[in-house]
Amino acid sequence: MTFDYNSLNIQINKLPTKSLYVDNRHLNIYEVVATHNKLPVSRIAITLPINLNDDLGTNLLLFDLEVFPPRPKPFVSHQKTNETYRNLGINSHLIKFTNAHYSNFFNSPLYSDMIFSKETHRTQTNLVCQPGKMVWQKLEKEGVAQYIPFTNNNNELVDRWVMLSK
């Protein structure tokens, strides 16, 4: 089944929809919602770190420290698609659309989250694990995202992607 992405109504917020304080860090959340025939189909949340803290490993993850002042790396912290619309490429379309819209606003491309959901769901043929990770793998295959693994504070290699400017 093919889907006409032009039939989506995408709402992008220029102001944060939520602010959080976690581990001495201020985070702004920007929600992006796609609707089809006035029904919510897919949503993603973009998290923008606002301040550095004492954890150098996390600062390397969340900020480009090679520029001054350090530039935040906005990341897709949540992805969810209505079950009826799964496997139609809507989430990857939403991420590409959002990256194009926000890259100038944030002065940075979007990054993937590194803690992918352990959520699983059944398709007609098999069990699909970590659907969010699969979206980023698809974006990489399309040539619009680059895989950039990150070594965390425990010296473990963790999957991460960054959107390319196209």
Task: Note the pLDDT of residue 75.
Answer: 93
Whether the per-residue pLDDT at 57 is higher than 90: the answer is no
Phi, psi of 154 (to 5 degrees): -90, 10
Predicted structure pTM score: 0.84
Q: How many separate helices (H) and strands (E) can be counted in the chain? A: 3, 14
Task: Note the pLDDT of residue 128.
Answer: 44
**Residue 148 is part of a domain; what is its CATH number?**
3.40.630.30
Average pLDDT, integer, range 81-95: 90
89-137 per-position pLDDT tens digit: 999 999 999 999 998 899 999 999 866 544 444 444 444 446 778 899 9
Average pLDDT, integer, range 59-67: 87
Average pLDDT, integer, range 45-63: 87
- Contact between 29 and 47 under an 8 Å Cβ cutoff? The reply is yes
For residue 47, give the nearest of 15, 78, 74 by alpha carbon.
Answer: 74
Whether the per-residue pLDDT at 148 is higher than 60: the answer is yes
CA angle, corner 60, sides to 54 and 138, nearest 5? 140
Identify the weakest region by mean pLDDT among 18-32, 40-54, 152-166: 152-166
Task: Note the pLDDT of residue 7.
Answer: 92
User: Domain range spanning residue 57?
Assistant: 5-163
Share of the chain above pLDDT 70, in %: 89
Task: Note the pLDDT of residue 115.
Answer: 64
Task: Note the pLDDT of residue 71.
Answer: 92
The total of structural domains in the chain comes to: 1
